[in-house]
Amino acid sequence: MSSVRAKFRCSSVEQSSSDPTEVQRYNPASREVEPSGQITWPRTFRFTAVYDPDVPEDVRYAQATPVGELRIQVDNPSVIFEPGRSYYLDFTPVDEPAPGRPA
């Protein structure tokens, strides 16, 4: 499979909890998730596939994603998606290691 690009619009942002949480970071050296010391309020972003028959780009993207929804929770305070704004979403296959071999 080759890469596929879709176009999604942020439809809403919701605060996921009323309590702050500590941002966790993945440490590739230890392969563990560790505390970062940074506090955030997790947010949930919802996206829907974009389609406007009068926009040629949207018609092209609709061939790959005519309908779709995406919901992600983000803890990183520097990540901001604006409701009403469109974003490209790229799907690229990951080369997985052979079974029994470390990543």
pLDDT tens by residue, 67-79: 889 999 988 888 8
Q: Which domain holds residue 52?
A: 4-90
In this prediction, residue 103 carries a pLDDT of 59
Residue 95 within any structural domain of the chain: no
Q: Which residue has the higher pLDDT, 100 or 5?
A: 5
pTM equals: 0.68
81-91, pLDDT tens digit by residue? 999 999 999 98
Among 80, 78, 72, residue whose Cα is nearest residue 46? 72
10-61, pLDDT tens digit by residue? 999 998 766 777 777 888 888 888 888 877 778 899 999 988 889 888 888 7
Among left, alpha and beta (phi > 0; psi -120 to 50; other), residue 61 is alpha
In this prediction, residue 26 carries a pLDDT of 83
Structure tokens at 17: 């909890």
Question: What is the total count of domains within the chain?
Answer: 1
